[in-house]
Amino acid sequence: MSDLDGLAGVIAAALDERELGYQRRAEGSFFVTLPGTKKLQTNCWLVLTPHALLVEAFVCRRPDENHEGVYRWLLQRNARLYGVHYTLDDMGDIHLVGRIGLHAVDDDELDRVLGQVLEAADGDFNTLIELGFATSIRREWAWRESRGESLANLRAFAHLVSDSDVG
């Protein structure tokens, strides 16, 4: 058994112990689903390479507006993250990425890094939505109100809608 096979076993055992849903894709690749509260779930890749475990999680799509404010916030937030940092892909979508040296891949480190991914992706989600999609939220709120649709999953953003608009 190679070192990477052994580490793949460590990763699988850690995911199983935490009862996290995952699929093993290519050799040494895990597609993990982390449950959330603000963001219903965060999909995260764990990929073993010869030198590191790569971590990548999609957080949200490219902001519609206030790009400078969103990016400033992401850069400031990066200073407080453990093991991962915010980045943008070629489309401008927001991801968390990190690299863990193979020597550090163990149950405790996986717990810390996956915990940080979940805390950031889920905990920062509403802030990112407020900063980058306020106009869309207001438009969606008005559309739902006009049709008598539920506003339940928009209630966290009620403060973005003027008091006279909130029903």
Work out the mean pLDDT of the chain and round it to a whole number: 93
Which residues have C-beta within 8 Å of that of residue 33, sequence separation ≥ 6?
20, 21, 22, 41, 42, 43, 44
Fold of the domain spanning 3-129: Yope Regulator; Chain: A, (3.30.1460)
Angstrom distance (rounded) from CA 165 to CA 151 = 12
Q: What is the pLDDT of residues 31-71, one digit of tens each?
A: 999 999 999 999 999 999 999 999 999 999 999 999 999 99
Contact yes or no for 128/60 (Cβ under 8 A): yes
Residue 114 per-residue DSSP state: H
What residue ranges do the domains of the chain occupy? 3-129
Rg of the chain's alpha carbons, rounded to an integer? 19
The closest alpha carbon to 15, from 32, 28, 36, 37, belongs to: 32
- Is the pTM higher than 0.85? yes
Q: What is the pLDDT of residues 121-152, one digit of tens each?
A: 999 999 999 999 999 999 989 999 999 998 88
